[in-house]
Amino acid sequence: MLIRSVDSASAPLPAPPGPRLPRTVQTAIFTWWRHVWAARLRQKYGDVVALKVYPWGRVVLVNDAEHIAAMFASPSERFRSGSGNRILAPVFGEHGLLTSDGEEHRRLRRLMTPMFGKTAVRGYQDAVRELTERDVETWPVGSPFASLERIRKLSLDIIWRVIFGPDHDVRSVELRGLLERLPVMDVAVLMGLNSARARRVGPWRRASNLLARIDALLYDAIEERGSAPDLGQRTDILSQLVGAGGKAEGLSPVEVRDQAVTLLFAGHEPTATALAWTLHELARNPTVAEHAARAALSGDSAYLEALVKEAMRRRTGIFESIWTLTEDIDLGDFRVRKGATLMPMLGVVHMDPAHYRQPEAFRPERFLHDDIPPHAFIPFGGGARRCIGAHLSVMQSAEVLRVLLSRRSVTTDRPKPEAAVSKSVTIAPARGARIILRPLPRTGH
């Protein structure tokens, strides 16, 4: 067994190895360069590596797909992801899908899973197409630009429509503007918001004030939506969340608020980053770009989805997931003590040659023809904590590509790949995925 409970009869095992650098140094390296450091640590120390990182303290990196699969399959009370994600609580709240555990998480999951199933997601496809068609017409043609910022805006437009519906009023305009100003995905801001002292100064004070106004507007919107005469007929997520308040396992206004904020931020930034990396790769792989253009024009959704999945593998945006250990365990050849934070390193698994032929190559067709074990492709996590919005993310990404690539070709003025940087929760292109769009050549009849 890869993971075993520890009892009085268990033979003693050593703690996982790791660097002896000071905690402050380890924290700095992990915060800004974890996507590079993790692979080097695996080469030096193996599949299980111990660190000391603020704000978690004892951190154990798990780099092996089989170990991670065993974690995902373990009893939910052994690894508590909500506790591991407490760094997000000042923004996402105490009762969101990412920050809750145990029965609370299971209840939220039961209520919300139908809202993000394949059938429900297909109902949003026309809105995604409409918003994308309108937005890409404003993108520069013939001159280089950073695609990540454009895609972030479009992705926020899409998740906003999914959550709030097509309504526009003064409150929603103000709320949208505040959300765009809140630097919630900045790791330094998130860490500072967990400190009462930091929240009184500088960017953390500004973020706290923004959050207070956002919450006031959200609670007003929740109250107003609850009294809407057509609440039962509305398909937007906020209406469904508010409507769930009348059921036996219903949601309180605080819980509705926490789900809405979680979905807004977790639902657009990782998808935007994945799409930006996809365009980055298309601009530097002309053969793949030609195949993608044909797929967009012919309606080949399978290839477009494979394209997105390969970008998520090759350029994993959410590089790790975070779990708090609730009991002593033996993990492989090592003993890990209760209270440690275990981090399955998703990005390391995605580059493992044990599961991927030529892992450095950008080959979307591997997701159409290769036999990839399910536990080796985990951009959305796994087990009971797998991202509830996975179907929406893939559908949205494929639909955006279908619209864009049926109108424009993608190139770049700088063929050299951009470095990956960790300035936020996601690992993003250093120059914002700089590309050049050009009109498609006219075809004669």
Res. 166: pLDDT tops 70: yes
Q: Which helix (H) or strand (E) holds 260?
A: helix 253-266
| Full residue range of the structural domain in which residue 387 is found | 3-439
- Mean pLDDT in the chain? 92
Q: Percent of the chain at pLDDT above 90? A: 77
Angle at 287 between CA 285 and CA 292, to 5 degrees: 90
Q: What is the pLDDT of residues 89-112, one digit of tens each?
A: 888 999 999 999 999 999 999 999
Q: Percent of the chain at pLDDT above 70? A: 98
Q: What per-residue confidence (pLDDT) applies to 442?
A: 66
Given its phi and psi angles, is residue 21 left (phi above 0), alpha (psi -120 to 50 degrees) or beta?
A: beta
Q: What is the pLDDT of residues 34-88, one digit of tens each?
A: 999 999 999 999 999 999 998 899 999 999 999 999 999 998 889 999 888 888 8
Q: Which two tokens stand for residue 374?
A: 């399910």
Res. 445: pLDDT tops 50: no
Q: Which one has a higher pLDDT value, 189 or 153?
A: 153
Of 184-193, 196-205, 253-262, 312-321, least confident by mean pLDDT is 184-193
Res. 369: pLDDT tops 70: yes
Q: Which helix (H) or strand (E) holds 437?
A: strand 434-439
Residue 444 placed within a domain: no
333 contact partners, CB below 8 Å, separation of at least 6: 13, 14, 48
Mean pLDDT, residues 115-138? 95
In contact, 325 and 337? CB cutoff 8 Å: yes
Instruction: Classify 5 as helix, strand or coil.
Output: strand
Mean pLDDT, residues 193-220? 91
Exposed (0-12), middle (13-18) or buried (19+): which is 17, by Cβ within 10 Å?
middle
In contact, 335 and 328? CB cutoff 8 Å: yes
Task: Find the CATH number of the domain harbouring 212.
Answer: 1.10.630.10
The number of folded domains in the chain is 1
Q: What is the pLDDT of residues 273-304, one digit of tens each?
A: 999 999 999 999 999 999 999 999 999 999 99
Residue 166 placed within a domain: yes
Cα(442)–Cα(329) distance, integer angstroms: 63
In contact, 48 and 58? CB cutoff 8 Å: no
Mean pLDDT, residues 222-242? 91
Strand order in the sheet with 329-331: 3-5, 329-331, 334-336
Residue 445 placed within a domain: no
Cα(53)–Cα(51) distance, integer angstroms: 6
Res. 155: pLDDT tops 80: yes
Residue 303 placed within a domain: yes
